[in-house]
Amino acid sequence: MLRALCLAALLPFAAALASEILEDKDFWMSQGEKDLKSSLGITRNMGRARNVILFVGDGMGPNTITAARIYKAGEDGSLSFEKFPNTGLLKTYAVDKQVPDSACTATALFSGVKTNYETAGVDARVKLNDCVGSLHEEARVSSILEWAQQAGKDTGFVTTTRVTHATPSALYAHVANRRWECEAKMPRSSSLCKDIARQLVEDEPGRNIKVIFGGGRQCLMTNSTPTEQDPIDTWACSRRDGLDLIDQWQNDKKWRGFTYAYLNQSGDLDSLDIDHVSFVMGIFANGHLKMENERDKSRNGMPSLSKMTETAIRMLRKNERGFVLVVEGGMIDFAHHRGHARQALEETIQFNQAIEKTLTLLHEMKAIDDTLVIVTSDHTHSLTINGYPERGGNILGVAQTSREDKIPYTTLMYATGGMNNFQYERKGSGFTRKDPTTVDTTAWDYSHIAAVPDDEAHHGGGDVAVYATGPMAHLFHGVHEQTFVAHVISYAAQIGPHKGSSAPGSSQNILGLLIGFLLIFLMS
């Protein structure tokens, strides 16, 4: 009995010792050797990208990725895209702002041109609210979807936000204010301009996009019906002009002789006859789609990002010339704006699952070698990871106690935030910080502390990471302007500005290499 008690008492010490031995110098030297061997084994894919899939995690800065990694798999874990062979950093500033919004950064990503804060699909000549300026053809910029369509490829986009929201709008619209999602948000002085929703349905390249999945029904049709599970988004535009652009979209496809399908709930994706449909529009919410922790996962609810992405790829793969698809995990940003760190991390994990599903599909399709997959973000948020929490601790938990006010604080914090994030309370003649150990900091709606109160947590201005695999992925190799993404896509897929250029691996380049070798031989 005494022996058993002694063994039980020694077990924790033995476990701790084993943990230390597990990660001694031999362990880390071995890890380094494995990483080095893996890196030395990377070969460049110099081929042409038949397909391009661009994933944009809205507001997914480096700290969000780190926190989500710990949240999902621990400090030594990884997200799927972190294993991509090529990485770089992107500068996110706007032409007129150090800290950008999603419209101007999306324009940089999709068109290769930086522009002004809160404008989309136009260059810096167009100032915010300048309707007339946005009508000038020379100030409008074209996107990767337009370039792909001109090259005969199919195109699509998937988002968990409204399909007219800032990020997707830069794929097809030219607008002097990202809030002009429908006519109700536009001033009378801007009556010459089309709202974003109309540009999606009526103009090119919007009307030629084969797959459109997301929310935003209230921007596309007048008198959209709210329900308890799908209320009207009071922050956003609601159409009032009597138009039903969803019906107009269907009529356009009918008049042009195309097969089409309109979907409005998750189960419709399962029922979709992919082989016999050319165009598909899925509008699954009046406003944004629900966050994963709130989503009705039945057939009558809203689909996951993974399910929408999988369906989009299966639709677009039918084109022998390939496709370009953009996938946005938009609710990462939405959660951050409210200071709800756990929701932001969960949305990042869902975004990661969509990428995992995509890689599995590409392998099944035997298209992994001719598909350029890029994962990045439009901008960061002011999320910080601080204090000195123990390894293995809950990333959503308490880091340590402040040496100054003697009150504990959480590992995750925000620089700015709404009043819910301003965790101070009156005490006597002054204010004191609230003790986070008295509440559940892992709750979905817990608002992590912010240093400065404002209407919401604001964007950060730091660089974002870019991860890539597939043809020409090695072009991401250092610190780049955010506009570089569109140029890499153009060059890798031979569309847009770089259509017909002599990419490595092309016959022109091979001939040049042969001539070069011949000259070296003759001179030796």
d(CA 173, CA 144): 12
Query: Percentages helix, strand, coil for the chain, rounded to the nearest 5?
Result: 40, 20, 40
Q: Tell me whether residue 224 is one of the annotated catalytic residues.
A: no
Q: What is the DSSP letter of 130?
A: -
- Feature table: binding site for Zn(2+): 58, 333, 337, 378-379, 459
d(Cα 175, Cα 243) in Å, to the nearest integer? 20
**Other C-beta atoms within 10 Å of 497: how many?**
12
**DSSP letters of 352-404?**
HHHHHHHHHHHHHTT-GGGEEEEEE-S-EE-EEE-S-PPTTS-TTSEEEE-TT
Give bridge partners of residue 329 from the DSSP assignment.
57
CA distance 222 to 91: 39
- As a whole number of Å, the CA-based R_g of the chain is 25
Neighbours of 441 (CB within 10 A): 21
Could you tell me the two tokens for 397?
Answer: 């938990």
State whether residue 348 is helix, strand or coil: helix
Q: Write the CB contacts of 167 (distance below 8 Å, at least 6 apart in sequence).
A: 56, 58, 102, 103, 106, 159, 161, 328, 330, 378
Residue ranges at the known binding site: 58, 165, 167, 328, 333, 337, 378-379, 459
* Nearest one of 150, 149, 167 to 54, comparing CA atoms: 167
Q: Residues within the annotated binding site for Mg(2+)?
A: 58, 165, 167, 328
Residue pair 156/325 in contact by the 8 Å Cβ criterion = yes
Neighbours of 104 (CB within 10 A): 32
Alpha carbon 232 to chain centroid, angstroms: 24
Catalytic residue among 19, 30, 39, 102: 102
Question: Which residues participate in catalysis according to the annotation?
Answer: 102
